[in-house]
Structure 1
């Protein structure tokens, strides 16, 4: 495969060979269920995921945190399996199973040996379609989630990250915490979570992705049978839920958020609105992020840590969503050094836009990104996740060859121009530690005026 493969929602069957001679197949069933597989030569294990394009951004007022709450509850029992039965199914074969809730999707997944894939299909299908949402389990899990939120609140980096998203994205749904807040979890009711479940876990919402040792036709037959045993009528025709279309861009919230805590370090994020997931410049953004803060040779690491010894951890990253993104830089340092480190990070960011990057930086970034992509694909988890995001978010499948081709087309001028554009966007800072707002006020004021 030398180019991206489009994934139209109205195409029933699609088959192609990707880099490394893996075979990718996709079936869209009449019921709207979508099943994608990537058979990897020589693989002895498989990772399977059951996805829905529903995340924290889709919650209504009064239900914040319900998507993550529901994720927990789907492991707590069905009419045919207890919570212990579900756990034992995977533990008894040395498998892994878990789930993840993001801002735009939820995925329930398992990794097993190839011989245990039929079991994984049966258990995940049962969980996905037939969770009881038992009242007692609901109350027990409320306590578990409150503990999870408390654990996150004890982590200053987590707190800073959440507040940073609020600062950059404002009141936009993407700016909300995925897990909700203690107040919204305390207020959650079983009826509201059950309504969320019934409204969003339907055949036309379901995407199943499998990577590794998998026979596509067998997997489709087994998934269909498991869903029908659970009571789904797959003979009823339905169109897959359309992919998200870009909405109005977020408006910045408070440009400066400081949470004062008596800590040894200040954990801080600094950045600007970034690019949406489907932006054609995402390869350029990947190179920019790598040059600026993608490793030990990056500008931030060299300037802040190696030359000045101001921080142990410093990096850049760029989460993206269907209609928005964030360009973020992070550092943890002593409170007295926080203003200096923040100024250095912002200066390095702007310097890329003003002066560009060197040819050796471009070559190193392209090599780093291509190599990291290749190494990640040694794991069926990554391939399974790539299938899911290709189907739910991008609407196209991009293999390693195409990834490397797109990276090879990035020029130093592309990187400079994008950095210049991003540097003109409003800067937001979020910090947690023994500092005051006055330590950073000049950064956001200056950025807004630039």
Structure 2
């Protein structure tokens, strides 16, 4: 059965159909554009991995582009380049997405290519060995970029040796240890239809995509399997796994993240938390930016971030500065968080943050890719599609007392510190 989920000037026409076998198809029709973005989502990510296969989901994402039963890697690349399209993929903690952006007239090609990757990849031993080197180079590239490395270090410091604490990329040791049986077995077991969602946005018609998907997935769309249940996840930890983490490196800047556990993505307080995040460190008018960069010129970059997973999440503040300024920057961050905890935000700050979030949400939906992504994340992460106007309404419904309550809970918790820079372990207590 096809459901009409949204039809207005903000959200466009959104339709959803659940096919036999548990596969779900969602479209958002945007008549004013000439392109379409297609995504095939699989509800598996690094959070599903044990230590022995850490990085398998991301490794597999790479490997699927190496060829299928009927197409070589060159065939796949040539077909997409010939129509001026773009095809890529990404792996996250809780899902993997393969996507293509094409002219609307080339949507059949995009469906054929992406569905072939997801259902008919060969994952040969030879391809595994060549791509292993590529993934190891990606890990090395992450390690060479301190501002990237500190984020993985923060996750490890906050969540410990758990799936949420481990990097999506895996480790050098885990990647070197993965066999063809490990990766292909992961593909065979995890890429089943109940875990797959197909989304498209742009100049698309829902029935057209249903026809294309039906032809591409064929016999896999059989049986009465239900979609995979919504991932609930473990609740947020009561405190960080450890107080501090360090990657000692000779860098010109020290990169640091100070943060704490936060609520999961289904928690209704997430709207108040997002307003708090925007006011504290979400833009050039935020408290941290004004206090640390504009007034004192201590940093080039400073800001906060709120991340939600199933059942858990994190709030963190990032800053990059010279080693001699680190103590003062950390002091100012802590003082500002303490001030917000004690006093909350005033009405003007709350109103400004609402406007920032609402404007960012609507402006972020100006292209087909962002709308396609919103459909996929809504289905896999929330189990429902919230029209844009409803999200705007929920943000409008937040008041100062709700923001103050979230601040008091978040910032009163134990915090942890992740540091990449020229330090020794003995320096961490002082920081």
- Per the normalisation by structure 1, the TM-score is 0.93
- Cα distance per residue 1:356-381 (max 9 Å; x no partner): 11222111111111111111000111
- Cα distance per residue 1:18-39 (max 9 Å; x no partner): 4426111101012111001111
Is the aligned partner of 1:296 residue 2:275?
A: no
2:235–2:312 Cα contact (<8 Å) kept: no
Residue matched to 2:5 = 16
Superposed counterparts of 1:26-425, under 5 Å: 26-228=16-218, 232-250=219-237, 252-425=240-413
Report deviation, 1:237. Answer: 2.0
- Structure 2, unpaired ranges of 5+: none
* Equivalenced residues, count: 429
Report deviation, 1:439. Answer: 4.9
- Equivalent-residue separation in structure 1 for 2:216 and 2:25 (angstroms): 13
- Cα distance per residue 1:90-137 (max 9 Å; x no partner): 111111111010000000001111001110000000010000002211
Report deviation, 1:399. Answer: 2.4
Cα RMSD between the aligned structures? 1.4
- Per the normalisation by structure 2, the TM-score is 0.97
- Equivalent-residue separation in structure 2 for 1:401 and 1:186 (angstroms): 48
Structure 1 300/373 Cα, relative in aligned 2: closer, same or farther at 3 Å? same
SS at match of 1:175: coil
Structure 1 316/19 Cα, relative in aligned 2: closer, same or farther at 3 Å? farther
- Equivalent-residue separation in structure 2 for 1:94 and 1:132 (angstroms): 26
Q: Which moved more, 1:121-130 or 1:431-440?
A: 431-440
- Structure 1, unpaired ranges of 5+: 1-11, 444-450
2:235–2:264 Cα contact (<8 Å) kept: no
SS at match of 2:317: strand
- Equivalent-residue separation in structure 2 for 1:404 and 1:420 (angstroms): 24
1:289–1:317 Cα contact (<8 Å) kept: yes
- Cα distance per residue 1:68-105 (max 9 Å; x no partner): 00000110101111101111121111111110100000
1:256–1:437 Cα contact (<8 Å) kept: no
- Equivalent-residue separation in structure 2 for 1:64 and 1:206 (angstroms): 21
